[in-house]
């Protein structure tokens, strides 16, 4: 039996952030991971051909680069190999009429592109950009504080001191608005609104869902202000650096070590038993960087959960599923809207708000969407090290999809199991991309298609292919994530804590929950 101060279940980036900080504060820490590779949803592998490196799920590392964890440990992480590649041309949307609209770090160019569509909207966008400096500290302060906490209260107090009731009202309205409501208040041009609203579907916010305005607003404003970054050589650069730093600080990492149970003695979590029979004792804390449903549906032994928590967990909803299509290419797509699109990190194919509403409704009704929203990532446009000379990889995220198929909105695919459906549906996706980038198929060398259930098999936390570990709708966010009364990472079992995307502040690569929990535990 091995003894530690803290045993952390799951070597995703939140678990690793908690482990690094606790180890830095003198705790003896072990991280146990069921898979043979650390990273969770942040992994990079050669899926199709040797020499072509694909980010399995997460590609954009801007949240990590701007995180409080990275700010604290930037120098040490860099010493362990962390490297970012900047993307000055961040994201763009393409439209059926052969045009596009994108956002980069050149604010004047952004304004000019919007002005070509609507001079009035260009002025509104410039005003929003100017106001971002006043809004950002309070938004980031809220997102970077446990919920609830004195830190979140201080953020509200500072906002009141800075701008009084008008600023507080603006912040609250932004947090509660739907994407459409927010965008209609500020802009008239449908292409501009579609370009920004596409970010809502990265979470699970179609245009008319309350609480969905924040992500389109933040992504647009922060990308213009700071740019986007990806990892040099792959998103797993953050995982390699974090595991290296953890071990340098004396922490231990156990790979290929599934957890069979969390031992509870006297109402307190005291140990973790692995599938090979080893038991690790935890003197101070067991930290679960895994989906709460996986944790409490059989893993936690000898513990009776409060009814409020058990009921809340039973009704905790996943977000819609996603599909990943990884392509190896002889050349980047030839976007018909403009050759300049080859320089963008992301190209969204979600041309209008009506389409976004329709695809979401079809998916949550169990139908394969006729026209899914697509996020086309072009990492080798920025980082040539991910492919052999002159070759490329394409990262295609298909949003949003049902975990269980009841039918096909287009009436073309009869099968209802993902194993039979995924290749046919991938062909539909490629046809959509071809409409905007003719000749793409002629450049494809090979592909790997990951259905929602494939994603769950690779990472059981992605239930039904939900990369968010739970819907971010208002009733499952802020104070309600994952269950009302348990948003401060402590579970109903003494000594057992939760972190990860299912906890506040939710999904993304910001490592917020793991770092905030570790700071709370370490004092």
**How large is the greatest C-alpha to C-alpha distance in the chain, in angstroms?**
69
Q: What is the dihedral of CA 17, 18, 22, 25, to 10 degrees?
A: 50
Sequence spans of domains, the chain:
2-42+67-84+234-316+469-522, 110-221
Could you tell me which CATH number the domain at 2-42+67-84+234-316+469-522 has? 3.50.50.60
Tens digit of each residue's pLDDT, the chain (523 residues): 699 999 999 999 999 999 999 999 999 999 999 999 999 999 999 999 999 999 999 999 999 999 999 999 999 999 999 999 999 999 999 999 999 999 999 999 999 999 999 999 999 999 999 999 999 999 999 999 999 999 999 999 999 999 999 999 999 999 999 999 999 999 999 999 999 999 999 999 999 999 999 999 999 999 999 999 999 999 999 999 999 999 999 999 999 999 999 999 999 999 999 999 999 999 999 999 999 999 999 899 766 899 999 999 999 999 999 999 999 999 999 999 999 999 999 999 999 999 999 999 999 999 999 999 999 999 999 999 999 999 999 999 999 999 999 999 999 999 999 999 999 999 999 999 999 999 999 999 999 999 999 999 999 999 999 999 999 999 999 999 999 999 999 999 999 999 999 999 999 999 999 999 999 999 8
Q: What is the dihedral of CA 322, 328, 331, 337, to 10 degrees?
A: -10
Output the six-digit token pair for 336: 């018909």
DSSP 103-140: EES-HHHHHHHHHTT-HHHHHHHHHHHHHHHHHHHHHH
Asked if 413 and 424 touch (Cβ cutoff 8 Å), the reply is yes
Neighbours of 343 (CB within 10 A): 17
pTM: 0.97
Output the six-digit token pair for 75: 């120098």
Neighbours of 154 (CB within 10 A): 12
């Amino acid at each position: 039996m091995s003894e530690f101060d803290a045993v952390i279940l799951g070597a995703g980036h939140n678990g690793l952030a908690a482990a690094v900080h606790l180890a830095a504060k003198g705790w003896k820490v072990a991280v146990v991971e069921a898979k043979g590779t650390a990273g969770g949803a942040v992994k990079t592998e050669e899926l199709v051909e040797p020499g072509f490196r694909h980010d399995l799920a997460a590609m954009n590392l801007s949240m990590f680069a701007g995180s409080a964890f990275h700010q604290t440990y930037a120098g040490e992480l860099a010493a362990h190999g962390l490297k970012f590649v900047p993307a000055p041309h961040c994201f763009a949307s393409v439209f059926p009429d052969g045009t596009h609209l994108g956002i980069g770090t050149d604010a004047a160019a952004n304004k000019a592109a919007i002005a070509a569509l609507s001079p009035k909207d260009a002025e509104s966008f410039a005003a929003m950009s100017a106001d971002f400096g006043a809004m950002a500290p309070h938004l980031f302060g809220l997102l970077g504080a446990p919920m609830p906490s004195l830190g979140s209260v201080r953020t509200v107090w500072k906002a009141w001191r800075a701008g009084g009731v008008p600023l507080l009202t603006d912040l609250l309205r932004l947090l509660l608005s739907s994407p459409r409501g927010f965008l209609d208040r500020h802009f008239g041009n449908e292409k501009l609104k579609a370009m920004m609203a596409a970010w809502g579907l990265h979470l699970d916010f179609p245009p008319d869902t309350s609480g969905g305005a924040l992500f389109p607003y933040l992504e647009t404003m922060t990308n213009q202000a700071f740019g986007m970054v990806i990892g040099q050589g792959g998103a797993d650069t953050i995982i390699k650096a974090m595991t290296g730093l953890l071990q340098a600080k004396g922490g231990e990492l156990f790979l290929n070590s599934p957890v069979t149970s969390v031992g509870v003695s006297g109402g307190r979590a005291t140990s973790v038993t692995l599938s090979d029979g080893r038991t690790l004792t935890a003197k101070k804390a067991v930290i679960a960087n895994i989906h709460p449903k996986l944790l409490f549906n059989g893993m936690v032994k000898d513990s009776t959960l409060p009814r409020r928590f058990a009921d809340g967990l039973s009704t905790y909803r996943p977000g819609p599923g996603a599909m990943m299509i990884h392509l190896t290419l002889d050349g980047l797509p030839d976007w018909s809207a403009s050759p300049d699109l080859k320089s963008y990190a992301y190209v969204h194919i979600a041309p209008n708000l009506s389409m976004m509403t329709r695809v979401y409704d079809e998916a949550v009704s169990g139908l394969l969407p006729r026209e899914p929203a697509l996020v086309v990532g072009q990492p080798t446009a920025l980082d040539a090290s991910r492919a052999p000379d002159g070759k490329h990889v394409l990262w295609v995220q298909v949003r949003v999809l049902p975990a269980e198929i009841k039918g096909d909105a287009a009436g073309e695919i009869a099968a209802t199991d993902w194993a039979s459906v995924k290749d046919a549906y991938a062909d539909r996706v490629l046809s959509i991309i071809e409409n905007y980038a003719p000749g793409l198929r002629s450049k494809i060398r090979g592909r790997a298609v990951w259905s929602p259930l494939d994603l769950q098999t690779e990472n059981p936390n992605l239930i039904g292919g939900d990369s968010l570990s739970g819907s971010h709708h208002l009733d499952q966010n802020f104070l309600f994530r994952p269950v009302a009364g348990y948003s401060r990472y402590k579970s109903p079992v003494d000594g057992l804590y939760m972190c990860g995307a299912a906890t506040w502040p939710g999904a993304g690569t910001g490592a917020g929950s793991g770092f905030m929990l570790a700071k709370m535990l370490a004092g």
